[in-house]
Amino acid sequence: MSSIASGRPAGRLDIARALQPYHGPWDLRLAAHLLRRAGFGGSPADVERFSRLSPSAAVDALVGFDPEEGLADVPPGIDTSQYERLLLALNRNALSPQQVVQMLPQATQQMAMSSAAASSDVTIAAARAALSRRYLLPAMASAQRWWLGRMLLTQAPLQEKMTLFWHGHFTSEVLAKGTMPREIVAQNQLFRRYALGNVRELTRLVAQDPAMLKYLDNARSQKAHPNENFARELMELFTMGIGNYGEQDVRESARAFTGWTLRRNAFFENPATHDDGVKTFLGRRGNFDGNDIVEIIFQQPATARWFAGKLLSAFLYNDPEPELVTATANLLRKNGYELRPVMAVLLRSNVFYSNRAYRALVKSPVEFVVGAFQLYGISDVPLAALAQLARMGQTLFRPPSVKGWDGGMAWLNSQSLLTRENFASALLTSPLMPPNSWISDGMPADAKSAAARLVWMILHGDTSTASLGRLVSYLEGDETTANGAFSGENFAERIRGAAYLTMAMPAYQLC
Amino acid sequence: MKRNHFLLGAISGVTVAASNDSFFAKALAQPALPGMPGSAGERVLVLLNLVGGNDGLNMIVPHGTPEYYRYRPTIAVPPSDVLTVNEKIGFNPALRSLKALYDRGEVAIVQGSGYPSPDHSHFRSQQIWQTAAPESYESTGWIGRYLDGAALPKENLWNGVAIAEVLPEAMVGRSVDVPALSDVRSYGLRSDRRLDDRNAFTSLLSDQRVPFSSPYLAAVTQIEAHAQRGSEQLPKLIAGYRSTASYPATPLGRSLALAAQIIGSRLGTRVIYVQHGSFDTHSSQKRTQDILLEALSNALVAFYDDLQAHGNDRRVLTMTFSEFGRRVAENASRGTDHGEAGPMLLVGGGVKGGVYGEHPRLDQLDNGDAIYTTDFRSVYTTVVERWLGRAAHGIVGGSFPLIPVRA
């Protein structure tokens, strides 16, 4: 058995050249690598287009988006005002549980009734659950599909990729602690606006974000009873990491965030519950509030290293060398935590295009699914994709814990990989496949050329000659009598079979 | 840290002192500890996760404690309904069939299981119980760590099996890939493609001479190959098993039926994980929990009937756990909110049936929650050392006193 991978590539890092701009050969393979990392893989046409640019121009095209442009698009179907009205009526006894349930569609009603002996037995809890099924779950699914659709169709793939990065970093959870779909979408828009913006400013705004205020309980933190949940995670998981602060710093910063709460669903600094006494935090003394705490945190060297490590692990490879972390941390500080120039350096760097980074990450389920849709030119995310993603281990807006998704080995287990294979198999025969996709239209009719084209389109050539030979044999039908030889009759089915086999190969699971 | 001194000295043949690392050092030097029935190699541990936070107080009912009835005016189990164990506690009547097993001496109740500074979130609490690490974030689970170090044939895919849609954190190890499957039918390639697909598939998945190097290539290749081999093997390996036990037609009934089938087919399996729930009974608790408890009871009894019919009951120990107990006082919706300590059950495997540990005091609560009396890592330690025959220190992350649940 092989051992678990730490994620750091083998071999030695040339730190002197690591972050210098790459000037080597440029081809489809490296353009595809860039699009997988700075986006979700792109369509074959995107890869082709980027391969004709210089590496520097390709990166410019990715980092140069206008963040405001992407914000105009808002998801449909996330208005939960009817839910909130009915819930209020239920809680105030203005409507009985039966009355509420009777206002719902037949199918939802039946589910609510099935656990009750008689219709007059519908409990408040059953009515609440029925309301949630009728309004909240569809609104959540709608938000999830909307975001997946954005990833799929955006002209600014790096903006969506960074939004996903921030969602996994500054975690919050929809339908937990009363977080409504529209609130998680508003947080998502904050991440989209600051996708490549200032990290310090983003952190300050995250501390005032309604979904975050609910998720880590700061909305309930008052001078008399400070809740340490947010203050602790802010330092432990969001900015510095364990070992760079003490328990006293957690307690003192929790005092500084007291009174940061919600009023009418918006951030509100409540002077009545805010502790405006003197706090001692990371060696400084003053009447600090939350903004001061964020300022002090961003003066710590540990903070730059923390974000540097997270960015490198997400975009280059896991467990990056301390010297690479230091160099990237220096870059962050030099740029005053403005992310756009830093990401431009990383995506242009020698180390990014080196063997160390190439296919060195495991595709997340979202990268796998969105990437497959882009590969074949599918332009709509079906509802069924959400269940598939959940089985693969990733549900958007519902990270497994405040730590977000671990990535790497955590994506890999037998059930999740079988789900990926089954997803690929179903996709290739699904009615979603556009009739004019490259795989249906214009594939070469001889097995050798067809196999070569599949391996180029799906894996950008990342397979051995032996495997290519086996794909040729498969297409020719050497080992079977069931389908007969490669012919006009079974051409399409054979091609889809070979595409499925190619998508099941280990290389395709890597990013 | 609070220790369970009442347990100390009660263990026959072994001198244990709490926090005495020398004992565990000794145990490490002798990995194969003396056995319970059956040889160590044949023993199986079944983990049964009561997902959602089971209300232990309405499962094992403290009918002798007046506070219980004061805190729960509408949802307490009336004294006349309790299936009495002793003057203090008894079973919820929904557990009638399990009580019969208890009366035969095959069920051990460990009262008040928990840990210091309990967390109240489902996620984090699950993580704590699955990784056996209340104070740190661990990337491996306790069963994963056991399997990593156990002297088991590495080529065997079935050393550990999770009957769940997603691999539980408890089963994540450094060097093992535990298959997670919800049922045999869904564990497999759904492609209807023919034999030549499968042959091509097998060889393509083992392609290692690719024109790139990746720290994850070997792991992906291995896990994909296991998934493919495993999903083809399993239906054949367990096809010969016949059962006449009458399992309830519930998800847990189906999971335990599959577990018995895997155990009876002798695939070398040491640990099986199953789950049951959801026990997150914030409102109208009685209806939900009674249904779940009855399903639990009947499924467990059918499981042991099945095991016994095949001569396997003495080699299978089942341990229940749940991420937290629930608030002692009922809430305004006739339910209970997230709480702290709760009971764990150990069933079968020749355990010495009875009641272990102290019941949490209901007149001294931690912000309305029952305070733990036995660290759950004591139960894990007992199971690892006395059942699976390994030193537990590195698996549960410290030294915890054993619980004398065996004769």
Pairing mode, if any, of strands B316-321 and B44-51? parallel
Would the CB atoms of A506 and B220 count as touching at under 8 Å? yes
In whole angstroms, how far apart are CA A485 and each of A446, A455, A475, A495?
Answer: 11, 21, 8, 12
DSSP state, residue A269: E
Name the closest residue on chain A to residue B198, using Cα atoms: A501
Closest alpha carbon to A454 in A399, A495, A422: A495
Q: What count of other Cβ atoms lies within 10 Å of the Cβ of residue B363?
A: 8
Q: Are A213 and A219 contacting, i.e. CB atoms less than 8 angstroms apart?
A: yes
Choose the most confident range, by mean pLDDT, from A322-326, B196-200, B332-336.
Answer: A322-326
- Three-class DSSP category at B152: coil
Q: Residue B149 and residue B122: Cα distance in Å, rounded?
A: 29
ipTM score: 0.93
CA atoms within 13 A on the CB side of B139: 12
Q: Residue A20 and residue A423: Cα distance in Å, rounded?
A: 40
Non-local (6+) Cβ contacts of A505 within 8 A are A459, A463, A467, B204, B205, B207
Name the closest residue on chain A to residue B213, using Cα atoms: A355
Average pLDDT over residues B234-247: 93
Answer yes or no: is pLDDT of B36 > 70.
no
Tell me if A325 is assigned to some domain.
Answer: no
* Phi, psi angle pair for A321, to nearest 5°: -65, 145
pLDDT at B191: 61
Q: Residue A164 and residue B270: Cα distance in Å, rounded?
A: 39
pLDDT at B164: 86
Residue B349 Rama label (left phi>0; alpha psi -120 to 50; beta): left
Count chain A–chain B contacts defined by CB atoms under 8 A. 200
Would the CB atoms of B174 and A4 count as touching at under 8 Å? yes
User: Percent of chain B, pLDDT > 70?
Assistant: 87
The tokens of A390 are what? 């959940």
- Three-class DSSP category at A349: strand
* Phi, psi angle pair for B167, to nearest 5°: -60, 120
Which run of H or E residues covers position A78?
A: none
Q: In B4-71, where do the E strands start and end?
A: 44-51, 60-61
Instruction: Output the CA torsion sign for A176, A177, A182, A185.
Output: negative
- Three-class DSSP category at B345: strand
Would the CB atoms of A1 and B178 count as touching at under 8 Å? no
pLDDT at A58: 98
Structural domains counted in chain A: 1
pLDDT at A72: 86
The tokens of B261 are what? 């089938």
* Phi, psi angle pair for B47, to nearest 5°: -95, 130
The tokens of A36 are what? 């997988």
* Domain ranges for chain B: 5-189+217-396
User: In Å, how far is A287's CA from the nearest CA of chain B?
Assistant: 30
Q: Residue A150 and residue A147: Cα distance in Å, rounded?
A: 5
Please measure the distance between the N-terminal and C-terminal CA atoms of chain A and give it in whole angstroms: 23
The tokens of A125 are what? 């809890």
Q: Residue A37 and residue A158: Cα distance in Å, rounded?
A: 8
* Phi, psi angle pair for A346, to nearest 5°: -60, -45
pLDDT at B349: 87
Would the CB atoms of B204 and A412 count as touching at under 8 Å? no
Which run of H or E residues covers position A296?
A: helix A290-297
Question: Who among A317, A422, A462 is closest to B189 (CB)?
Answer: A422
Non-local (6+) Cβ contacts of B30 within 8 A are B391
Q: 3-state DSSP: chain A helix, strand, coil percent, rounded to 5?
A: 55, 5, 40
Tell me if A181 is assigned to some domain.
Answer: no
Average pLDDT over residues B123-145: 91
Residue of A415, A476, A490 to mutate, interface with B, max B Cβ within 10 Å: A415
Residue appearing with tokens 């003192």: A252
pLDDT at B193: 53
For A107-142, the pLDDT digits (tens) are 778 777 665 545 556 788 788 888 999 999 999 999
Tell me if A425 is assigned to some domain.
Answer: yes
Answer yes or no: is pLDDT of B39 > 60.
no
User: In Å, how far is A474's CA from the nearest CA of chain B?
Assistant: 7
Closest alpha carbon to A478 in A489, A465, A469: A469
* CA quadruple B57, B59, B60, B66: dihedral, nearest 10: 40
Q: Residue B166 and residue B182: Cα distance in Å, rounded?
A: 8
DSSP state, residue A119: G
Within its chain, how far is the Cα of B198 from the centroid?
36
- For each of chain A's 511 residues, which pLDDT tens digit applies? 334 567 899 999 999 999 999 999 999 999 999 999 999 999 999 999 999 999 999 999 999 999 999 898 889 999 999 999 999 999 999 999 999 999 998 877 877 766 554 555 678 878 888 899 999 999 999 999 999 999 999 999 999 999 999 999 999 999 988 899 999 999 999 999 999 999 999 999 999 999 999 999 899 899 998 888 899 999 999 999 988 999 899 999 999 999 999 999 999 999 999 999 999 999 999 999 999 999 999 999 999 999 999 999 999 999 999 999 999 999 999 999 999 999 999 999 999 999 999 999 999 999 999 999 999 999 999 999 999 999 898 999 999 878 899 899 889 888 889 999 999 999 998 999 998 999 988 899 889 999 999 999 999 999 999 999 989 988 887 644 444 455 556 788 889 989 999 999 999 999 9
* Phi, psi angle pair for A462, to nearest 5°: -80, 65
Which run of H or E residues covers position B114?
A: strand B107-114
DSSP state, residue B164: S
Would the CB atoms of A501 and B178 count as touching at under 8 Å? no
> What is the gyration radius of the CA atoms in chain B, in angstroms?
22
Chain A contacts of B175, Cβ < 8 Å?
A: 1-4
The single-letter code of the amino acid at B98 is L
* CA quadruple A462, A468, A470, A472: dihedral, nearest 10: 140
Q: What count of other Cβ atoms lies within 10 Å of the Cβ of residue A437?
A: 17
pLDDT at A410: 83
Question: Who among B200, B224, B284 is closest to A125 (CB)?
Answer: B284
Report which of residues A193 and B182 the model is more confident about.
A193
User: In Å, how far is A202's CA from the nearest CA of chain B?
Assistant: 26
Q: Which CATH class is domain B5-189+217-396?
A: alpha beta
User: In Å, how far is A470's CA from the nearest CA of chain B?
Assistant: 7
Answer yes or no: is pLDDT of B9 > 50.
no
Name the closest residue on chain B to residue A316, using Cα atoms: B214
- Three-class DSSP category at B309: helix
Report which of residues A231 and B32 the model is more confident about.
A231
The single-letter code of the amino acid at A238 is F
Would the CB atoms of A412 and B219 count as touching at under 8 Å? yes
Tell me the residue range of the domain where A390 lies. Answer: 363-511
Q: Residue A218 and residue A179: Cα distance in Å, rounded?
A: 13
User: In Å, how far is B406's CA from the nearest CA of chain A?
Assistant: 35
Non-local (6+) Cβ contacts of B46 within 8 A are B256, B259, B271, B272, B273, B274, B316, B317, B318, B319
Q: Residue A270 and residue A247: Cα distance in Å, rounded?
A: 25
Closest alpha carbon to B167 in A365, A416, A407, A367: A416
Tell me if A156 is assigned to some domain.
Answer: no
Answer yes or no: is pLDDT of B16 > 70.
no
> What is the gyration radius of the CA atoms in chain A, in angstroms?
26
pLDDT at B201: 74
pLDDT at A493: 85
Q: Residue B291 and residue B297: Cα distance in Å, rounded?
A: 10
